[in-house]
Chain A
Amino acid sequence: MRALARLVLFAVALTVCGPVAAQSLEREVGDFTEKLEIGISTDEISITSDFRGADLTIFGAIDGFDADLLAQGKYNIIVVLEGPKDNATVRKKQRVFGIWVNTQSMTFELVPEAYSLSSTRDIATIAPPRDIANMGIGVDHMRLVPLGFIGDGSSLGEFRNAFRRIREESGVYQRDPGGVQFISSSLFKASVRLPANVPNGIHVVRAYLFRDGLFVAAKALPLRVVKTGLEQAITRAAHEQPLIYGFLAVTLAVITGWGASLLFRKE
């Protein structure tokens, strides 16, 4: 929470593109006059070792909106926080000669390691499901492309479902229909959940604007998540200086073992 206190949010500077927003990837569709702007006060979040998950707040505004439509609640927003991508392997156990053994596996190519979705309402009611699916929004529509040979593909659905279920159960994939709220006529506030086991790396905040079921505009901002503290220093040492780390671990064991025998011999 302390780390997040540093996220001083700038609602005022929303329409003026900050240094972060300037780098953002913009995607707009021709016919609409609406523009979408989002902002986070920082492009980097430091997470201390006692971090147990928190909410990240993103502010945004719709520019050039139609007041009537807004009053009728025809504007809907989906905000997604997507973690860094990596390949993930799903394994399935089967009973072989009485014991449970991993027999089948499937690797999905470059799937996000974290995915939190917030929206003004249930995404299925925001736009036609086919559009949402085509855009790949939501855990259910996430592109899960298997890597390598998968046979006749009959088990693809089963492995995809298992992957989504396990990731949702472990809390790294989350959804909150109602996490995006309008705070004034065209200003909105979105809270997305950072899970306790949030992965390090570049995350992307994406916002999508829909008008009456039609996709209008999207905006993306990068967000760097950096873990800090002793534990993180240890993890870094283990991965960046593994040989020294190994020697250190052994030295620690030698000192502890030897030290204890000296200590107890005196008594």
Chain B
Amino acid sequence: MTVYLPIAELSVNIFIILGMGAAVGFLSGMFGVGGGFLITPLLIFYNIPPVVAVATGANQVVASSISGAITHFRRGTIDIKLGTVLLCGGLVGATLGVWLFSLLRSIGQLDLVISLLYVVLLGSVGGLMLWESIGAMRKAARNQPTQLRRPGQHNWIHGLPLKMRFKKSKIYLSVIPVATLGFSIGILTSIMGVGGGFIMVPAMIYLLRIPTSVVVGTSLFQIVFVSAYTVIVQASTNYTVDIVLAFVLMIAGVIGAQYGVRVGQRLRGEQLRALLALLVLAVGIRLSIELIIPPKDIYSVVSAGFGF
């Protein structure tokens, strides 16, 4: 059964899209990630124009992050003040990102930049995560305690000015690194169609030393708002949000996530991280192959009114 995607302007097999949504939903539930970094490359592999894949991916991220954000809000594990500072940076970043997106698109380098960003980010994050989780697994095998966080340590970030007290996180921290982190994630959200949790969570834990208990909730808070904002800005400047594609992905995604969560609970943390790392690396490698092998046609035609 095919469904016509009005914005992507092509017909796709609805079961493939449902399958993609369910698989990514399952994995995102299992690993506790938004899944934007998986859905966007998958859509690109399935010949959805990258411009549509990115904007629609951001829409899917809203759906997959909202329930988690609400859960954390109810439990009180969101530092609203910290989240707001992140969000301020994020909104500025997303605005700049959408502008960059339009600029890159007009000079014909958008697809390349999207692929390069994915290869670099997925490669480095996947590599680091794999390294860390293998280390943790080896320590666990030798029955040594694992240390994810060294609370006593401070780095140069804690010497920055404009400090603010974040009561819920029980930290006294400069707003500069927080807003900068939000800003960077905002750019990634609008150019790559990702929530950015896979970068934000480690950065909050390791760089900003924010207590793990509020990290996930606060990052989800920022992700929901920045992604929603990105969707609206993408829709009104680039007209690239495909609501049909997004809806099919969301439906399959939220259902898949429910089953993913159950499987995830049965696995150990470091095993889960190692699997996620392998997955992230696999997507990165697949994208880098695309950049290296000679294309089927070295020419492409883009129509000025609406095209890719």
Query: Chain A residues in contact with chain B, CB under 8 A?
Result: 49-50, 86-95, 98-102, 105, 107, 113, 159, 162-163, 165-167, 197, 231-232, 234-235, 238-239, 242-243, 245-250, 252-254, 256-261, 264
Contact = CB atoms under 8 A, between A and B. Distances in A.
Given A163-B301, A234-B244, A249-B59, A239 B232 contact: no
Contacts of A264: 258
Given A88-B301, A91-B302, A166-B301, A235 B247 contact: no
B303 A113 contact: yes
B302 A89 contact: yes
B294 interface: yes
Interface stretch (B62-70, B140-148, B167-175): B62-70
Contacts, number: 160
Main DSSP-derived SS at the A contact region = helix
10 contacts: A89-B108, A89-B304, A95-B294, A163-B301, A239-B239, A246-B231, A247-B232, A249-B235, A252-B243, A256-B63
A103 B7 CA distance: 27
A254 B63 contact: yes
A49 B6 CA distance: 9
Nearest to A247: B232
Nearest to B238: A242
Given A86-B305, A102-B108, A258 B67 contact: yes
Contact of A256 (B9, B250, B294, B300): B250
Contacts of A49: 4
A103 to B, nearest CB: 9
B244 A250 contact: no
Interface string B267-308: 000000000000000000000000110110111111111000
A257 to B, nearest CB: 4
B254 A105 contact: no
Interface in B55-80: 59-60, 62-67, 70-71
Nearest to A248: B243
Interface in B208-247: 228, 231-237, 239, 241, 243-244, 246-247
Interface residues of B, number: 51
A258 B70 contact: yes
B243 A234 contact: yes
Interface centre among A98, A246, A247 (most CB of B within 10 A): A246
A253 B63 contact: yes
A258 B200 CA distance: 23
A196 to B, nearest CB: 8
B251 interface: yes
B307 to A, nearest CB: 8
The 5 A-B residue pairs with the shortest CB-CB distance in the complex, in nearest-first order: A246-B235, A261-B67, A260-B254, A246-B232, A257-B66
A253 B60 contact: yes
A235 B232 CA distance: 15
Nearest to B255: A260
A94 B241 CA distance: 30
Contact of A235 (B7, B62, B251, B297): B7
A181 to B, nearest CB: 32
B109 A254 contact: no
Q: Which of B112, B116, B232, B246 has the most CB of A within 10 A?
A: B232
